[in-house]
Structure 1
């Protein structure tokens, strides 16, 4: 029997990118401190220091290798998912960040193989049964295509969460059991 395919985003889903980028922004531009709660949409240019462009904010060499795990449960729950389902880790990446993201993944989740690691910005082009992501730009097209989704709640997806009423997962604690329910899988 074919296992359901679960596509899992990396940044701000299994690790914290925005919080770490804010940390470095606030060190480098103390006159323009950012708060996580202020990140209510993707365009943050009005919040940042004029010299803190998108490339500066997310482009610090080594940034993607120093990200913290989403929470204390994510590794064990990802391992459980990997044992039960066909898991792919799908992340938007620029060429210069691919190696950093792969290194992070191998440091924290070495059970994810290279065949399970996909860099792709337009995730709706991939075949999966469930998408776990924080980006509304990924969740909405998947939802509209009739695929199951789980939203990782953050300030930047509040409006879309309210509009689409996505199932939420704010912690990875007991994620496998929750995902079994969402997929309505029995005995896997």
Structure 2
């Protein structure tokens, strides 16, 4: 029997950091650099603390996310040895449910609908591994954690860090 991996969407296979910064520049005409948001939470990315939530509630935001570099190839590789599940806390933003499903169908058509889990609280997930960028999800996970690098987790070091998909593969593919 294969071991199982829960893979987060936003910030792990979908590049939300780049998307937020691009939407901000498009909407407000100001380019905020990646270095300017390091160590901040999502609600602290922009001078107006309501902007990130506003974008997340905007129809089309989740549907138009760019794919994280290396994610497609990495998941195909991991699926050879593991049961891979996409797990996303998608309940807070109701329009994200259909948008995320359509996004997955387009960019990860090789992931079965049976392996997609949209939930509100990831503490119920019982896979062997979890790859996530949020400490709140990793801290309560009972299996082995891999913290995917993100601007908001740079000051945390109590989980195994992977800075990109190549590093994830080095940790999981033997």
Deviation of 1:77 (Å) = 1.5
Aligned with 1:55 (options 53, 56, 64):
53
Distance in structure 1 (CA, Å) of the matches to 2:60 and 2:73: 25
Q: Which has the larger radius of gyration?
A: 1
Cα distance change, pair 109–43 in 1 and its aligned pair in 2 (3 A): closer
Structure 1: gaps of 5 or more residues: 182-188
Cα distance change, pair 62–3 in 1 and its aligned pair in 2 (3 A): same
The reply to whether residue 154 of structure 1 matches residue 153 of structure 2 is: no
Whether contact under 8 Å (1:29, 1:49) holds in the other structure is no
Q: Could you say which residue in structure 2 is the equivalent of 1:89?
A: 86
Listed one character per residue, the Cα deviations across residues 78-129 of structure 1 (whole Å, up to 9, x for unaligned) are: 0121232111100111321111111111111101111111112321211111
Q: Could you say which residue in structure 2 is the equivalent of 1:112?
A: 111
Distance in structure 2 (CA, Å) of the matches to 1:154 and 1:43: 10
Report the structure, 1 or 2, having the larger helix content: 1
Whether contact under 8 Å (2:6, 2:129) holds in the other structure is yes
Whether contact under 8 Å (1:74, 1:173) holds in the other structure is no
4+ runs deviating over 2 angstroms: 33-37, 39-50, 52-55, 173-178
Q: Could you say which residue in structure 2 is the equivalent of 1:35?
A: 33
Distance in structure 1 (CA, Å) of the matches to 2:152 and 2:169: 25
Structure 2: gaps of 5 or more residues: none
Deviation of 1:45 (Å) = 4.7
TM score, norm. by length of structure 2: 0.86
Q: Could you say which residue in structure 1 is the equivalent of 2:173?
A: 180
The alignment of Structure 1 onto Structure 2 pairs a total of residues equal to: 171
Distance in structure 2 (CA, Å) of the matches to 1:135 and 1:46: 15
TM score, norm. by length of structure 1: 0.80
Query: What's the secondary structure of 1:160's corresponding residue?
Result: coil
Whether contact under 8 Å (2:149, 2:164) holds in the other structure is no
Deviation of 1:54 (Å) = 4.2
Query: What's the secondary structure of 1:131's corresponding residue?
Result: strand
Decide which moves more: 83-92 or 37-46: 37-46
